[in-house]
């Protein structure tokens, strides 16, 4: 439970990093769109573009301002969630984080360990049921009790003039409860087999989860590589359209679409990095030995 809470804290912190990253991207996007809106307004005043171009730019400004307000709320929500996990009281303050970046683990060959806490606990449970089986088998054997006593009779202490002692062995064997003992033994064996099966099933499920998480981590890495290329391509497309728009060779709609695509790709890249970091933290949790 402690290790899982640590993972949840790491996950919440990464989500808070993403909230800050989204806000920064939207701030930059809003500044660029306002610049486009100002430029289009100047063109409109000169009679070079239509009123619809100015309205489209204004719509884009309004859209980003709305998204930016939601991003500010997400920072507060993520801070509240992190505060809850670490056991602090509700507050209007927000946490600050370092910038979101891809965290590459130093431990690449992470496997399921038999020393993981939950697996060790189940192994102890299996050992306990084995002891129960051994205990139930002992009920079929006779019981032997040895006893002895010694008496000292003398007028003076430690003279040992008269003494006596008694030593004996008591053997008892209950022969009319065989079915009851047999039932107890069968029940103990069933519990042992059941616990062993639960252990085997738990290990198989955790191995499947571990392998799935490894594949998810690899998929996240591929997605990051693709998103980085997409960001570069969208940035180049935006640069070309910006130059063409200043020369009157590209429409305002095309420029706004290119600008929106560029910042959308940057958001998707940040989301991919967040997903990679969370998946990597979960993989560490699954392969943790203590």
pLDDT of residue 177: 62
Q: How does strand 143-153 pair with strand 162-172?
A: antiparallel
Predicted confidence (pLDDT) per residue in 26-62, tens digit: 999 999 999 999 988 988 888 888 898 899 999 999 9
Q: Which residue is associated with the tokens 């979101």?
A: 100
- Residue 288 pLDDT more than 90? no
Q: What whole-number distance in Å separates Cα of residue 158 and Cα of residue 152?
A: 9
**The token pair that represents 84 in the structure block:** 């809850």
Predicted confidence (pLDDT) per residue in 88-128, tens digit: 877 777 778 888 888 877 666 778 888 888 888 888 988 88
pLDDT of residue 141: 64
Q: How confident is the model at residue 273 (pLDDT cuts 50, 70, 90)?
A: very high
Q: What totals of helices (H) and strands (E) does the chain contain, helices first?
A: 5, 2
pLDDT of residue 99: 87
Q: Domains for the chain: give ranges and CATH numbers.
A: 2-114+199-286 (1.20.1600.10)
Predicted confidence (pLDDT) per residue in 146-194, tens digit: 767 766 666 665 655 566 667 777 766 666 665 666 777 788 888 888 8
pLDDT of residue 267: 94
SS3 161: coil
* Percent of the chain whose pLDDT exceeds 90: 43
pTM over 0.85: no
pLDDT of residue 232: 95
């Amino acid at each position: 439970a402690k290790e899982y809470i640590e993972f949840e804290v790491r996950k919440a912190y990464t989500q808070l990093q993403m909230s800050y990253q989204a806000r920064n991207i939207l701030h930059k996007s809003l500044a660029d769109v306002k610049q486009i809106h100002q430029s289009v307004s100047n063109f409109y005043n000169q009679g070079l573009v239509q009123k619809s171009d100015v309205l489209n730019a204004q719509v884009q400004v309004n859209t980003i301002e709305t998204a930016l307000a939601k991003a500010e709320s997400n920072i507060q929500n993520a801070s509240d969630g992190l505060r809850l996990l670490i056991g602090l009281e509700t507050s209007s303050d927000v946490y600050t984080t370092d910038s979101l970046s891809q965290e590459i683990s130093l431990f690449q060959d992470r496997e399921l360990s038999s020393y993981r806490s939950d697996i060790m606990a189940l192994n102890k449970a299996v050992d306990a049921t084995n002891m129960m089986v051994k205990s139930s088998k002992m009920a079929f054997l006779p019981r032997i009790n040895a006893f002895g006593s010694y008496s000292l009779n003398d007028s003076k202490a430690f003279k040992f003039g008269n003494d006596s002692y008694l030593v004996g062995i008591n053997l008892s064997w209950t022969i009319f409860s065989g079915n009851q003992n047999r039932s107890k033994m069968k029940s103990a064996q069933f519990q042992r087999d059941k616990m062993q099966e639960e252990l085997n099933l738990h290990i198989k499920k955790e191995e499947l989860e571990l392998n799935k998480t490894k594949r998810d981590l690899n998929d996240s890495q591929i997605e990051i590589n693709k998103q980085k290329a997409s960001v570069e391509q969208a940035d180049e497309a935006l640069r070309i359209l910006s130059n063409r728009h200043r020369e009157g060779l590209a429409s305002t709609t095309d420029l706004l679409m290119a600008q929106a695509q560029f910042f959308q790709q940057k958001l998707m890249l940040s989301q991919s990095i967040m997903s990679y970091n969370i998946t990597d933290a979960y993989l560490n949790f699954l392969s943790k030995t203590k």
